[in-house]
């Protein structure tokens, strides 16, 4: 029998879990990356435990990382780690090792998520549907992650690119003024320029002339401070416009899923009460196309990445055994 050792590796923390094929990740642990010299060291202890607790069972290692991956190798952005699939396989004595981008894992998780993993954001999401159409995920965090999942005759195919760096669009005069102000400083204003942790801070400074940390803005909004509320209002409007563009581009009639640490911390109530849904569907004659699309907030994006990683490994094992 085969078991998986799964890791969601960010710039600061890593979550490790185990899973059987087709199962949900269990025995999750969270580690500070600063306590380890490299990713392989972090895996070794957990792999040794697997060998003791599950003697004779094969191990496959999977890592979802916050950064670009080329040929199974990732250079982390916010920590001086190179994560290489061959190195992980050697260090853990595993049958195989796979390294993918964290939003590839998140996209692959979408068909696996249950209603317990999600908070419905619009009326279309109140009843959990049978998923048979394209899905999309985007999430503001350190950056803006964007990906999609498409149904095919052989299962789910993931589309992952650099959608966070598309040009951010204005939907009204106020937004156009903000973008004009930021272009003078940034040149190109990408979606990630505002729809991220540093982007939220940049947006607040553009509106109010003061730089506050993202948690301070959230705390001020909780205290009903008008400047912070205005910043979040504009943030959600831009996010809704970007989500609507993504839905049209991918034909994501199966659902739009919101992820990222910022939204998880703000919580579903603030997302629901924002103008995100209003802007998501504000596409002229295509409003009727977008209105029935369910919108969900993923409650625990880190767990979802582990779940998607497990599904990714299932797909690879299945393909190696001759398909479904």
Do 239 and 101 have their domain in common? no
Q: For residue range 188-216, what is the model confidence (pLDDT) as tens digits? A: 999 999 999 999 999 999 999 999 999 99
Q: For residue range 73-94, what is the model confidence (pLDDT) as tens digits? A: 998 877 888 999 999 999 888 8
Do 98 and 124 have their domain in common? no
Do 131 and 263 have their domain in common? yes
Q: For residue range 50-72, what is the model confidence (pLDDT) as tens digits? A: 888 878 788 999 999 988 898 99
Q: For residue range 90-109, what is the model confidence (pLDDT) as tens digits? A: 988 889 999 999 999 999 99
The CATH number covering residue 216 comes to 3.40.367.20
Instruction: Output the pLDDT for position 321.
Output: 76
Do 57 and 72 have their domain in common? yes
In angstroms, the CA 271 to CA 255 distance is 16
Q: At what angle do helices 214-222 and 226-250 cross, to 10 degrees?
A: 110
Average pLDDT over all residues of the chain: 92
The CATH number covering residue 312 comes to 3.30.420.40
Do 74 and 91 have their domain in common? yes
End-to-end CA distance of the chain: 18
Instruction: Output the pLDDT for position 17.
Output: 95
CA dihedral 283, 284, 288, 291 (to 10 degrees): 30
Do 133 and 25 have their domain in common? no
Do 123 and 272 have their domain in common? yes
Domain count, the chain: 2
State if pTM tops 0.85. yes
Do 126 and 48 have their domain in common? no
Instruction: Output the pLDDT for position 294.
Output: 96
Do 292 and 306 have their domain in common? no
Do 148 and 268 have their domain in common? yes
Q: Which domain holds residue 52?
A: 2-107+302-320
Do 257 and 136 have their domain in common? yes
Q: At 39, give phi and psi (nearest 5°).
A: -70, -35
Residue 308 has pLDDT above 90, yes or no: yes
Do 200 and 306 have their domain in common? no
């Amino acid at each position: 029998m085969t078991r998986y050792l799964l890791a969601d590796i960010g710039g600061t923390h890593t979550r490790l879990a185990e899973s059987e094929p087709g199962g949900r990740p269990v025995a999750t642990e969270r580690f500070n990356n600063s306590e380890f010299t490299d990713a392989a060291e972090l895996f070794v202890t957990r792999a040794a435990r697997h060998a003791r607790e599950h003697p004779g069972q094969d191990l496959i290692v999977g890592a979802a990382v916050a950064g670009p991956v080329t040929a199974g190798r990732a250079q982390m952005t916010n920590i001086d780690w190179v994560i290489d699939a061959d190195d992980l396989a050697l260090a853990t004595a595993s049958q195989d090792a796979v390294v993918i981008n964290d939003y590839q894992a998140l996209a692959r998780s979408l068909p696996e998520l249950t209603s317990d993993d999600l908070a419905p954001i619009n009326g279309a999401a109140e009843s959990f549907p049978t998923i048979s159409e394209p899905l999309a995920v985007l999430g503001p965090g350190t950056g803006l992650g964007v990906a999609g999942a498409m149904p095919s005759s052989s299962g789910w195919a993931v589309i992952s690119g650099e959608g966070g760096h598309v040009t951010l669009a204005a939907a009204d005069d106020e937004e156009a003024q903000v973008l004009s102000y930021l272009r003078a400083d940034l040149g190109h204003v990408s979606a990630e320029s505002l729809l991220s942790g540093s982007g939220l801070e940049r947006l607040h400074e553009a509106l109010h002339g003061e730089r506050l940390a993202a948690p301070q803005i959230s705390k001020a909004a909780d205290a009903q401070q008008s400047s912070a509320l205005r910043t979040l209002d504009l943030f959600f409007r831009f996010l809704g416009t970007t989500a609507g563009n993504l839905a049209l581009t991918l034909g994501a009639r199966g659902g739009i899923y919101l992820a990222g640490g910022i939204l998880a911390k703000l919580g579903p109530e603030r997302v629901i009460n924002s103008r995100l849904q209003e802007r998501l569907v504000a596409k002229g004659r295509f409003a009727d196309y977008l209105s029935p699309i369910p919108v969900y907030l993923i409650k625990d994006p880190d767990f979802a990445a582990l779940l998607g990683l497990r599904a990714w490994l299932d797909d690879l094992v299945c393909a190696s055994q001759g398909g479904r």
